[in-house]
Chain A
Amino acid sequence: MEALFFNVENGYLEAIVRGFKSGILTSNHYLNLTQCETLEDLKLQLASTDYGNFLQNEPSPIATTTIAEKAREKLVAEFNYIRANAVKPLATFLDYITYAYMIDNVILLITGTLHERDTNDLLERCHPLGMFDTIAALCVATNVQELYSTVLVDSPLAPYFEKCLSAHDLDEMNIEIIRNTLYKAYLEDFYNYCQMLGSPTSEVMGEILQFEADRRVINITINSFNTELSKDDRAKLYPTCGKLYPDGTAKLSKSDDIDQVRMVVETDAQYRQFFDLPVGAERSLEDKFFEYEVFLNKKSFLRQFHFGVFYSYLKLREQEIRNIVWIAECIAQHQKERINNYIPIF
């Protein structure tokens, strides 16, 4: 039934995104890239792909940070094109995707402002997809109370702040806890929105966001071992839209070491593979999470007439940028033993 009316408003954009996706680097491209000796070679190899001459105006010698920046600029241009042509509900969906970056930017600005860093410097370090009109207002605030009222009034993140934090909390809490609380609220909101859109978007995005939630649960658990984060506080940071909720998260909030985590996670068939790490393996848990994320995002392209392709395209391109930066770093530092540790996409 979704096929009857989806194309009225979103057919063109879906086909555009699929066109973009066909330009994502394949394993052949990566083979060529890993065999480059210098960053100039890399630049030449990238010129024959969809990236084209994106580095041509950079003075040599090129730094890896420049490559990352320019690649990200290209991605942001593509995303902004799609966002400009979108109408509701696709426009709302794309806005939800940008809220994740907004959270990062807001946290960056809050930390920077409270430590009295330079405003322009901070604004430059913000992620372009997470910019909103009144973000500069955050830099003007001088104390926490003002910061809180500015954030609440001016930003699209206001509902997430309202739900979980007060001005008092902003002062007291560790900034990472604030970030995780905001992200939890955002993820649950996004998940509910996708469920409201109906099949097949709800199925595709539901799976992807459930994995995202479970991944955060596992990461928060593992990272909080041997820190002063109490078990109750830890449980408050777990997003509730994942497959591990409620039984898995209840057990994970009580666990003390990685073996208990492994036991809880192994109850789910697909998550078992994350902990199948032989001793001294090259792939870490983080890498396995990335691989599974790429797998889910690739799967979303197998269905038509849903919004998941937009989200998946963004995530796959980000993974591609991470891969290119990894390869560039290996080349620049002459450490080519681990150059093949990128995550292959296509």
Chain B
Amino acid sequence: MSSYYASKTAFLFYLAGIFALIVFLDLVFTGNGVQFDVGRFLTDTSPYMWALLGVGFTIGLSVVGAAWGIFITGTSLIGAAVKAPRIRTKNLISIIFCEVVAIYGLIMAIVFSSKLNDAELADGEVWPKSAYFSGYALFWSGLTVGVANLCCGVAVGITGSTCAIADAADPQLFVKVLVIEIFGSIIGLFGLIIGLLMTSKVREFDTK
């Protein structure tokens, strides 16, 4: 395989990097360097954007993880069940473990979106600090839960595929490999717990 540094995806990154560099240098050389202001970006963007991005990441990344896990397990299960049809029903547990990951994401997305309310900001006013906290907390919790569920779904999927193949070869192996899968699915639960902890102090958006 050609090295990663020369592959097609790497070229896309190089292009994006060069474009960013050109924009940056343009700003600096035309005396507008002060426009590159991270602080202004953070205070000017509405906390709603962060909060809703968080909710989107929660459900989006969780579903990607669950789907990834299901296809990894499902293909091996179909193939192995041709020679050993007895494994079909038992190994649906692996699929269910992957599906549970998506449900975690769904629950957290519902919990997060219930913390949002539609507060209107009058002209010339700024959001109070609590609003910024709410926005950031929801964003990073969402990312936490989403990425944790993504990894969990993939882990459970790969182990589930091995479980199906091992079960087809020797029925005694099923429960043993299932234990490994259970350990893998706990990762998703960790993400859920931390997400809940982070957003427990989130108050609703308030213009005061």
- Secondary structure class of chain A's binding surface, majority of residues: helix
B77 within 8 Å of A by Cβ? yes
Given A4-B154, A18-B165, A11 contacting B72 (CB threshold 8 A):
yes
- Asked if A15 and B71 make an inter-chain contact with CB atoms under 8 angstroms apart, the answer reads no
Instruction: List the B side residues contacting A14 at CB < 8 Å.
Output: 76, 79, 165
B78 within 8 Å of A by Cβ? yes
How distant is A302 from chain B, measured CB to nearest CB, in Å?
Answer: 11
Q: Could you count the A-B residue pairs with CB atoms below 8 Å apart for me: how many are there? A: 65
- Asked if A22 and B76 make an inter-chain contact with CB atoms under 8 angstroms apart, the answer reads no
- Asked if A19 and B83 make an inter-chain contact with CB atoms under 8 angstroms apart, the answer reads yes
**How many B residues touch the partner, as a band?**
20 to 34
- Asked if B84 and A22 make an inter-chain contact with CB atoms under 8 angstroms apart, the answer reads yes
Instruction: List the A side residues contacting B122 at CB < 8 Å.
Output: none
Instruction: List the A side residues contacting B35 at CB < 8 Å.
Output: none
Interface residues of B in 33-83 (CB under 8 A from A): 68, 71-72, 74-80, 82-83
Closest to A19 in B: B83
> B167-203 vs A: 1/0 string, CB under 8 Å?
0110000000000000000000000000000000000
- Secondary structure class of chain B's binding surface, majority of residues: helix
Interface residues of A in 1-53 (CB under 8 A from B): 3-4, 7-8, 11-16, 18-20, 22-23
- Asked if B78 and A15 make an inter-chain contact with CB atoms under 8 angstroms apart, the answer reads yes
- Asked if B83 and A304 make an inter-chain contact with CB atoms under 8 angstroms apart, the answer reads no
Complex Cα gap A11–B80 (Å)? 10
Instruction: List the A side residues contacting B75 at CB < 8 Å.
Output: 7-8, 11-12, 15
Total interface residues on A, CB under 8 Å, equals 19
Complex Cα gap A14–B162 (Å)? 11
How distant is A9 from chain B, measured CB to nearest CB, in Å?
Answer: 9
Q: CB < 8 Å: which of B68, B71, B154, B161 contacts A304?
A: B161
- Asked if A15 and B168 make an inter-chain contact with CB atoms under 8 angstroms apart, the answer reads yes
Complex Cα gap A38–B80 (Å)? 36
Instruction: List the A side residues contacting B84 at CB < 8 Å.
Output: 19, 22
> With contacts A4-B154, A12-B76 known, what are 16 further pairs, Cβ within 8 A?
A3-B158, A4-B72, A4-B158, A7-B71, A8-B71, A15-B76, A15-B77, A15-B164, A16-B83, A19-B79, A19-B83, A19-B84, A22-B83, A304-B161, A304-B162, A304-B165
Interface residues, chain B, CB within 8 Å of chain A?
Answer: 1, 68, 71-72, 74-80, 82-84, 154, 158, 161-162, 164-165, 168-169
